Structure 1
Amino acid sequence: MTSVNTNAAALTALRTLQSTNQQLESTQGRISTGYKIGEAKDNAAYWAISTTLKSDNKSLSTVKDALGLGAATVDTAYQGLNKAKDVLDEIKSKLVAATQAGVDRSIIQTEISSLQEQLKSIASSSTFSGENWLSVNSASSDYDSSKEVVSSFSRNSANGVTIGTVSVDISKVALFDSNTTTGNRGILDSAVGLTSSDGRALAIGGTASTTGNTNLNGLAGAVGSATGANAIQGVTAFNLTGSFAALNAANNFNDAGDGVKFTFATEVGSSFIDITKADATIANGVSVTGEVNSVQELANIFNKKVTTQGVEAFVNGAGNLGLRRTDAGATKTVAVTSVATIDTGSGTAHTSTAGFATTPADTAAKAGVDATKAALTSGNFSAAVTLDADDQISFTIKTGTNSAKAVIIDKTLVNDALGINTGVIADGSKYLTVLQAALRKAGVDATVSAASAAFKFESTATGGTASLSISQTSAVAGAATISVTNLNISDASLSALGAKNADDIAKVIGSYISAVNTAINKITTSASSLGAVSSRIELQKTFVNTLMDTIDKGVGNLIDADMSEESTKLQALQVKQQLGVQALSIANQSAQSVLSLFRS
């Protein structure tokens, strides 16, 4: 039908041309912006994702800048520590030169004073962007020992944002701390006790504090020597089978009621010992939360609980647990009849007797076996002992052919052994715990136990060749202290310490060298710590750069236009547009033919 009201062909051509123009406009927009998703209307979900990722990438760029700032701060402190170590090396060499007879110590002291000032200069100038980690004041209201370097930015599935940091404890790296109200000073201005080469406090008077309460109080009688032949004879030895390794490999004493029961008999009757979690927790006076980590610990626990006179646990040369008599005589016997697990708690015992025969194969009572130890008994403990930070008790102990070792008791050891912070040894049982801890720390092949209100030191070896000697028992109340920045080798300074002859002067300078060496070791440790932090920051910077590139790539995959594809579409749409215009023109001309019908 031909109509002058409606040109259907023209309408169709128009709609097609409009659609082509719309597609052409969209393609031209992608080509001009480079994005296939430039606005939320293009694809709301992908646009939201890409917008969030681009925002996070800006945050990561800030993290990268923060890492660079942190790296520079850490490197500044590290370089300061490194230079300070070089200066300390010079001071140490000057002190070594000062030990030479005939040298002019006043000239050397002038050089040392100059180096001490250089240390202060290094610390004060090791500043980056207002941050100085080497020269601090911990008394300041704005002081914070924990410095944080922003290292990461992350977002979880719930859109929660987390900022990660790398922490540096500057109290461990500070060379100087101007806070004089506490004992927490820097590496170079903190006072250290003057000690001899074996770690013993240097007892050259002059600066002893008035608060030192230290005395030997029970150790004075320990001076002397003994051999196995002088110790008790005829003790009875009974070895259980096994090495205890299997019991240690189990879950130890998990519940309060878990334990092991040893039943044994002497000539006067049968006895038993239950060892439970509570007993294991106080093994050797050190909390091990129910664990028993060696045969010796099990023997120690056994001996804490045993009430039968003349019976003790021991570890034989093969590393096995055994029982023996400590009193002499062929009629003194001991026999183990059983070893069993016990449980009074959950109903399921977590311990094991693996490694021991439940009924030992050898149950016959043994007597008269020579397994003697060298033993020395000290004096009685009479009153509490308080160790301040500058107090020290020490003695030298030698066993068998081993080298003599210095056993040193100070406030730190007391606090660690007793789980306190006061340095107080309140009674004999506490003193015994401290002595046991001191022997372990010194690596001495000897034990100490209570013996009739005294302390009995014994060699671990048995037999007539066993030997034990204790000497050089001393207590220093308020040992002289020094810091690297105020050590002085002038005659007046040495005299004030009580060093007035050549031997005492050599001892003091040797102690100064030890103090400087201690500072060097601390600086080396601190520099290593900063080096590890610096390495971590560099790794994090590399990771952040890679992460930013990865996010950029991911965002590009979501929203960037494929220009090759869009150029191809553009050419096709341009041709289609031209065809649409031509088609619309033809459709519009078709209506003109109607006029010919009305011509005469």
Structure 2
Amino acid sequence: MSDITLSAGVRQNLNTLQQTASFMSDVQNKLATGKKVNSALDNPNSFFTASGLNSRANDLSSLLDDMGQSVQTIKAADQGISSITNLVESAKAKANQALQSQSQYERKEFATQYNELLNQIEDLAKDAGYKGKNLLAGDGNDLRTIFNEDATSRLDIEAVDYTDTSLSTGLNLSDLAEGQGGTTSLQLQGGKTTISLTDGTSSLTADSIISDHTAISTTAELQYYSDSTSSTARIGTTSVTAGATVQDLVDSLNALDGVRAEFDNDSGDLTIYSDEDFFIGNQSGTAELADSTISAANFSSTTQILSDTASFAVGDTLTLTDGNGFELGSLEIEDDTSVDDLQTFLNDFDGVDADFDTTSGRINIASEVTLSLTSDGADFATNDFTANSTGVSLTALSDSGFASDTDINRTVTRLNSALSNLRTQASEFGTNLSIVENRQDFTQNLINTLEEGAGLLTLADTNEEGANLLALQTRQQLASTSLSFASQADQNVLRLF
């Protein structure tokens, strides 16, 4: 090719076309990449400066992602605290409900519901994590958020532990004792006999008052025995004087524990009820009153009438109360009140279970709380002729944590402290969330600033480069035309031939 000679005009136009083509290639590359500096060869200073800015922007972008995850972790904890607060307020409502009730059974039920709320609080706290980090789960869950490349700017958030409500460093709410009930039994036994006498004002020594028997001697002393006529079994006496009447006999019988006497003036019948075997004798140990021996037996059927024993008299009122003295209900003894009626009365109350044993004659009573069954009759629940003036008592093995007003008020105080703790912790998490979100916005803006600065150094002005390309295309066309003209000048030599 060195043997080929071009004219100066052709060579100059050819060089111009080559330069234009090179310039067009550069402009097209800038338009294609959007950058005016694509490598250190284009502009070392701008290239390396922009690379440094972009590197920092990338580093901050990674930190920005971590900040976003920290925000979500804090939000999860905050939502957990909000829900836990609602549960604590519900627990406080249960305590206040218990305070408004005097029923031990209702208080026991409220204590059970209170404990379930505490369980739900613990479960909720365990579920308040985000990507394996739980700010409500205590040790090992502290959160660190880094804000700059060298980690000199950061925020450490200490986790609290609400997964165990009893922790003193947390909510300090312990489960309440739910109480454990107890059992007792009421013996139903007795017997009765009827002695035919005259009216109650007649003298016991008059021949006419005792049917089929001689009059009682004026020197006699009626003696009352349990089981036998031995002196160790004697439980009382009545001195028979010239003025002693049938009513005096009735009164002396009614004064005995576990014995009840009823005299019918119309029929002249004296009916004696006894909870145990009973015998009326004289000083010699013989019976001067006909049919005065009573053989008491255990009740064996739910249809037996309660007033057939000395423990129950028509008109007596049985009252069932709990350990707080709260009256659950009452039952008035009527002439047809049966064992089944008493059993039904007891079973009508929540937490009480009564069952009659036909073999032993006992009503077995189980209760979830302390109970007391009393009567306004003096002979109620007698045993071996010893009256039990306090009735039948059932003491629970343990009371619930809401048994007394003092216990409930103590729990309410702890709940108020827990609510205060939750509000303080929610405020702290809110402050931390505000800090992280603020740094998140700042970092995003800083990344934009860094990328914008890098772009100013390396990005091409597409408008300018578009105009440059158009100008180069025009120059290319002109250079091509000029080259054509120069070539035509050289072709004029051919006309000489």
TM-score by length of 2: 0.49
Which protein has the larger Cα radius of gyration, Structure 1 or Structure 2?
Answer: 2
Q: TM-score, normalised by structure 1?
A: 0.41
